[in-house]
C-alpha cells in the first residue's frame, strides 16, 4: 500500500513539473513573439518605402488643397508659408518634411487671356537621413535643387489653373448660348415677326415684359431676374473658382441697334477680365 501511494505521488510530481515546464515554455514563446512583432513594426516605420509613401500622401493632400483654394492661392494677397500650407492641407509633418512655396509664376504671358494663367509651385522634400540638407528652393522660379539622397515632390498649380480657366470659359460660353437661345425663342414667338425688339433688355425698364430686365451696371448674374426669366439655373452664373459671373445689358452691350447684345464677364484670381457677348441671332 505504501509503495502504491509513493508511486502515485511520484506521478503527481512529474505531472506538476511537466505542467510548469509547459507554462514556462509558453511564456517564453509569447515573449519571443512580442519582441518579433515589435521589431517588425519598427522596421516597417523605418523601411525605405515608408518615407516615400508618406511623401506621396502629402503630395496628394497638398494638390487637393490647391485645387480647392486656387482662387485665393493665385490672387495678389496670398502670403502663406510652406509649413502653413502643410497645416492647412491637413498634413502632419514626419521624417523632417520640408515645404516651400514660390512667388506667383506664369505672368506676363505671350498668349491670350484664354491660355495665360498665374500659378505657384509648392515643393515638398524629406532631408537626407545623414549629413546636412543642402536642398535649395528658388521662390522666384519655383525650381527645387535637391541635395543627394533627398526624396522630393513638386506641385505645380499651372495645370490646376489652366483647367479652372477652361471650365470658366465653358461656363461663359454656355451662358452665352443659353441667352442667345432665349432671344431667338422670344423673337420667333413675336407676333409682329420683326427683329426690332431687343429681348435682351426690357423697354421701358421696370415694366413687366418677356424681355430680360434692365441691368445697367455690372451685377452678379444670380442676383438679377435673368436666370428665372431665361430658364437658366442661377448656379450656372458662377465660374470654376466659385466667383460670380457678372452681366449687363447696357454696359459693353448693343441696346439701341441691331444686332442687339448683352455682356457677360468674370475676373480671374490674378485679375484678368474675361468678357463675352450674347448676340442677337439674325
DSSP string, 141-191: TTEEEPPTT-EEEEEESHHHHHHHHHHHHHHHHHHHHHHHHHHHHHHHH-T
Least confident of 13-27, 50-64, 127-141: 13-27
All cell numbers assigned to 76: 495678389
Q: Can you give the pLDDT at residue 6?
A: 43
Q: 144, 152 in Cβ contact below 8 A?
A: yes
Inform me whether the pLDDT recorded for 235 exceeds 80: yes
Q: What is this structure's pTM?
A: 0.80
Q: Can you give the pLDDT at residue 13?
A: 43
pLDDT band at 102 (very low <50, low <70, confident <90, very high): very high
- What span, in angstroms and rounded, lies between the C-alpha atoms of 240 and 69? 11
Inform me whether the pLDDT recorded for 29 exceeds 80: no
Q: Can you give the pLDDT at residue 169?
A: 98
Inform me whether the pLDDT recorded for 27 exceeds 70: no
Inform me whether the pLDDT recorded for 30 exceeds 70: no
- What span, in angstroms and rounded, lies between the C-alpha atoms of 235 and 228? 11
Cα 275-218-157 angle, rounded to 5 deg: 50
Q: Can you point out the beta strands (E) in 200-260?
A: 219-220, 246-248
pLDDT band at 193 (very low <50, low <70, confident <90, very high): low
Q: Can you give the pLDDT at residue 11?
A: 43
Least confident of 93-107, 113-127, 183-197: 183-197
Percent with pLDDT over 70 in the chain: 83
Q: pLDDT tens digit string along 237-275?
A: 999 999 999 999 999 999 999 999 999 999 999 999 999
* Other Cβ atoms closer than 10 A to 193: 7
Q: Can you give the pLDDT at residue 267?
A: 97
- What span, in angstroms and rounded, lies between the C-alpha atoms of 157 and 262? 33
pLDDT band at 49 (very low <50, low <70, confident <90, very high): confident
Percent with pLDDT over 90 in the chain: 77
Least confident of 18-22, 35-39, 77-81, 200-204: 35-39
Q: pLDDT tens digit string along 8-25?
A: 344 444 443 343 434 344
Amino acid at each position: 500500500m505504501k509503495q502504491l501511494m509513493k508511486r502515485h505521488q511520484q506521478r503527481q510530481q512529474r505531472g506538476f513539473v511537466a505542467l510548469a515546464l509547459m507554462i514556462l515554455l509558453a511564456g517564453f514563446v509569447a515573449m519571443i513573439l512580442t519582441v518579433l512583432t515589435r521589431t517588425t513594426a519598427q522596421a516597417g516605420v523605418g523601411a525605405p518605402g515608408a518615407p516615400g509613401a508618406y511623401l506621396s500622401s502629402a503630395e496628394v493632400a497638398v494638390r487637393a488643397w490647391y485645387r480647392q483654394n486656387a482662387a485665393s492661392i493665385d490672387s495678389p494677397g496670398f502670403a502663406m508659408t510652406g509649413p502653413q500650407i502643410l497645416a492647412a492641407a491637413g498634413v502632419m509633418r514626419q521624417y523632417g518634411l520640408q515645404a516651400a512655396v514660390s512667388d506667383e509664376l506664369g505672368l506676363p504671358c505671350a498668349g491670350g487671356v484664354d491660355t495665360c494663367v498665374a500659378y505657384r509651385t509648392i515643393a515638398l522634400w524629406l532631408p537626407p537621413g545623414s549629413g546636412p540638407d543642402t536642398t535649395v528652393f528658388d521662390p522666384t522660379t519655383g525650381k527645387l535643387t535637391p541635395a543627394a539622397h533627398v526624396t522630393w515632390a513638386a506641385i505645380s498649380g499651372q495645370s490646376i489653373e489652366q483647367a479652372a480657366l477652361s471650365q470658366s470659359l465653358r461656363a461663359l460660353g454656355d451662358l452665352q448660348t443659353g441667352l442667345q437661345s432665349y432671344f431667338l425663342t422670344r423673337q420667333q414667338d413675336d407676333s409682329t415677326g420683326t427683329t426690332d425688339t431687343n429681348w435682351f433688355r426690357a423697354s421701358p425698364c421696370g415694366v413687366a415684359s418677356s424681355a430680360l430686365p434692365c441691368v445697367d451696371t455690372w451685377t452678379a448674374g444670380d442676383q438679377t431676374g435673368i436666370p428665372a426669366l431665361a430658364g437658366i439655373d442661377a448656379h450656372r452664373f458662377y465660374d470654376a473658382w466659385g466667383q460670380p459671373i457678372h452681366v449687363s445689358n447696357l454696359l459693353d452691350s448693343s441696346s439701341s441697334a441691331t444686332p442687339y447684345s448683352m455682356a457677360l464677364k468674370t475676373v480671374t484670381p490674378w485679375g484678368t477680365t474675361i468678357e463675352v457677348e450674347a448676340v442677337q441671332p439674325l
